[in-house]
Amino acid sequence: MKDLRGKNAVVTGAASGIGRATVVEMAREGMNVVIADIHEAGMEETAARARAQGVKAVAKKTDVSKKEQVKALIDFAIEELGGIDIMMNNAGVASLSEMRDLSLEEDWEWVVGINLWGPIYGCHYVLPHMIQRGSGHIVNVSSAAGIFTIPGGAAYSATKFAVVGMSEVLRSEVARLGIGVTCVCPGIVKTPIAEAIKTRGLKEIDLSKVLRYWGQKPQKTAENILHGIRKNKRLLLPTIDAKIVWFLKRFFPGLSAALGLLAARNFERLRATQEQSHFAA
Catalytic (active-site) positions? 156
Query: Are the C-beta atoms of 143 and 186 separated by less than 8 Å?
Result: yes
Q: What H or E segment, with its residue span, contains residue 235? A: strand 235-236
Per DSSP bridges, beta strands 235-236 and 8-12 are unpaired
3-state SS, residue 104: helix
Length of the chain: 281
For residue 154, CA distances in Å to 58, 100, 131, 146, 171 come to: 35, 10, 35, 11, 26
- DSSP state, residue 276: P
Alpha helical stretches, state H, the chain? 17-28, 40-51, 67-81, 110-115, 117-133, 154-174, 208-214, 218-231, 240-251, 253-265, 267-270
Alpha helical stretches, state H, 29-177? 40-51, 67-81, 110-115, 117-133, 154-174
- DSSP state, residue 215: P
CA distance 108 to 120: 16
Residues 6 or more apart whose CB falls under 8 angstroms from that of 140 comprise 89, 119, 123, 163, 166, 167, 181, 182, 183, 184
Q: Would you call 280 exposed, middle or buried from its count of C-beta atoms within 10 A (0-12, 13-18, 19+)? A: middle
